[in-house]
């Protein structure tokens, strides 16, 4: 029995490490295969739990004082309704998106193709653009105080432009990767693909404080599923500030998490599954990414990397029992 239990623990550890390895290195694995691995891991984990009970019974255990039950609040679950559809440039590898004075501003990625753009929403026409040097892979963008800030992925450099004419003003150096960027009107909020959001001073790009994002529930899908309450939520990508909350794309998934900026807790999950029609996909079509909010109208716009459409959506809470 001890040998069998040890073997089960060994297998469970191997499969769990494989899943985490794939997520950490962003290996493009087959998702059906990953689902099978996750299911197998769960089965093995249960087997480990069951296998260890006999040993636990034989061991002399010290009495444990009963603990008060911990109350967890699960995130609210939301879905969407498409209100309007607009054209989107399939050459735009969308990394950042925001709405300002009737226009969409878009930051695109890929070395040699990274740009900052002003876009006419109704037509998708690019009205103004400025490109980055080939060595830079553009990432998230945000507007604050008449300036536009643009991150780069692995170069550790953020660029600042005049919001009117896209004239370069200055740049900042930072540690680590740059993914998403948004603002509350005073500070910049930056993601790096981990479970952390960095609050930065717009004047010097210094870190003011750091949020660790957690979900007290089981509603956030990840390659290694969140099964323990309070577990960190990683792969935070493009960010948007909406009514006092941070909305964050989850890289590789059609989901957006709604984050309390004071605590880092996920208070809601918006499921955008099925947004893009299969007929709209091409070999160049990449993942869902990009959230823009028009505070004046309350409208929310979403798209994806190299998608052919931009969607204006209405968000509402799912009914109980609805998948």
pLDDT of the residue at 74: 78
Task: Note whether residue 129 is domain-resident.
Answer: yes
H/E element holding 159? Answer: strand 157-162
CB-neighbour burial class of residue 50 (10 A; exposed 0-12, middle 13-18, buried 19+):
exposed
37 and 90 both lie in a single domain: no
26 and 132 both lie in a single domain: no
199 and 286 both lie in a single domain: yes
Task: Note whether residue 65 is domain-resident.
Answer: no
**Which token pair is 294?**
């028009």
75 and 215 Cβ atoms separated by less than 8 Å = yes
Check residues 16 and 253 and name the one with the higher pLDDT: 253
Q: What is the pTM of this model?
A: 0.75
Q: What is the DSSP letter of 279?
A: G
Mean pLDDT for the stretch of residues 274-289: 94
115 and 37 both lie in a single domain: no
CA nearest to 149, candidates 74, 98, 104, 216: 98
How many separate domains does the chain show?
2
171 and 313 both lie in a single domain: yes
Mean pLDDT for the stretch of residues 1-21: 39
191 and 295 both lie in a single domain: yes
86 and 316 Cβ atoms separated by less than 8 Å = no
**Which token pair is 227?**
């099964």
7 and 100 both lie in a single domain: no
307 and 187 both lie in a single domain: yes
pLDDT tens profile 182-231: 999 999 999 999 888 999 999 999 999 998 887 765 444 433 222 224 67
Inter-CA distances, 313 with 132, 164, 279, Å: 31, 28, 20
In angstroms, rounded to a whole number, what is the distance separating the alpha carbons of residues 290 and 8?
A: 42
The three-point CA angle 26-109-236 to 5° equals 45
145 and 263 both lie in a single domain: yes
102 and 242 both lie in a single domain: yes
Instruction: Read off φ and ψ for residue 154, nearest 5 degrees.
Output: -115, 0
Using the predicted structure, report yes or no on whether residue 27 has a pLDDT greater than 70: no
What is the overall mean pLDDT for the chain?
A: 79
Based on DSSP, count helices (H) and strands (E) in the chain, helices before strands.
3, 22
pLDDT tens profile 34-56: 433 333 333 334 333 444 433 33
Helix, strand, or coil here: 202?
coil
9 and 112 both lie in a single domain: no
Task: Note whether residue 61 is domain-resident.
Answer: no
Task: Note whether residue 245 is domain-resident.
Answer: yes
Check residues 233 and 87 and name the one with the higher pLDDT: 87
In angstroms, rounded to a whole number, what is the distance separating the alpha carbons of residues 182 and 30?
A: 32
Domain residue limits at 25: 2-54
Using the predicted structure, report yes or no on whether residue 111 has a pLDDT greater than 60: yes
**Which token pair is 241?**
């500030």
Task: Note whether residue 69 is domain-resident.
Answer: no
Instruction: Read off φ and ψ for residue 55, nearest 5 degrees.
Output: -65, -40
Mean pLDDT for the stretch of residues 54-82: 57
Task: Note whether residue 312 is domain-resident.
Answer: yes
User: Which residues in 126-151 are b (16+ Cβ under 10 Å) and which e?
Assistant: beeebebeeebbbbbbbbbeeebbbb
169 and 205 Cβ atoms separated by less than 8 Å = no
Using the predicted structure, report yes or no on whether residue 172 has a pLDDT greater than 80: yes
Task: Note whether residue 46 is domain-resident.
Answer: yes
pLDDT of the residue at 323: 59
20 and 80 both lie in a single domain: no
Mean pLDDT for the stretch of residues 246-266: 90
283 and 245 Cβ atoms separated by less than 8 Å = no
Using the predicted structure, report yes or no on whether residue 96 has a pLDDT greater than 90: yes
Task: Note whether residue 154 is domain-resident.
Answer: yes
What is the CATH number for 204? 2.120.10.30
């Amino acid at each position: 029995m001890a040998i069998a239990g040890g073997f089960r623990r060994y297998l469970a550890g191997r499969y769990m490490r494989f899943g985490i390895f794939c997520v950490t290195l962003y290996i493009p694995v087959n998702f059906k295969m990953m689902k099978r691995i996750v299911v197998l891991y769960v089965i093995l984990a249960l087997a480990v739990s069951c296998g260890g009970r006999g040993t636990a019974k034989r061991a002399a255990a010290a009495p444990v004082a009963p603990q008060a039950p911990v109350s967890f609040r699960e995130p609210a679950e939301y879905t969407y309704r498409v209100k309007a559809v607009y054209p989107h440039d399939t050459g735009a590898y969308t990394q950042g998106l925001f709405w300002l004075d009737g226009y969409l501003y878009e930051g695109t990625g890929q070395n040699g193709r990274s740009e900052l753009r002003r876009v006419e929403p109704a037509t998708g026409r690019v009205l103004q653009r400025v490109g980055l040097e080939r060595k830079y892979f553009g990432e998230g963008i945000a507007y604050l105080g008449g300036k536009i800030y643009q991150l780069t992925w692995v170069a550790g450099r953020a660029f600042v432009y005049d919001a009117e004419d896209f004239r370069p003003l200055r740049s900042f150096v930072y540690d680590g990767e740059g993914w998403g960027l948004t603002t509350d009107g005073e500070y910049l909020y930056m993601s790096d693909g981990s479970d952390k959001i960095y609050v930065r001073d717009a004047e010097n790009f210094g870190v003011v404080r750091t949020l660790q994002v957690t979900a007290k529930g089981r509603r956030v899908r990840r390659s290694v599923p969140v099964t323990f309450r309070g577990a960190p939520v990683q792969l935070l990508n493009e960010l948007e500030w909406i009514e006092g909350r941070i909305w964050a794309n989850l890289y590789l998934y059609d989901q957006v998490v709604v984050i309390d900026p004071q605590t880092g807790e996920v208070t809601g999950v918006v499921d955008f599954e099925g947004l893009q029609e299969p007929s709209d996909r091409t070999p160049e079509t990449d993942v869902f990414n990009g959230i823009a909010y028009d505070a004046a109208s309350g409208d929310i716009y979403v798209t994806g990397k190299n998608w052919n459409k931009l969607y204006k959506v209405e968000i509402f809470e799912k009914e109980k029992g609805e998948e």
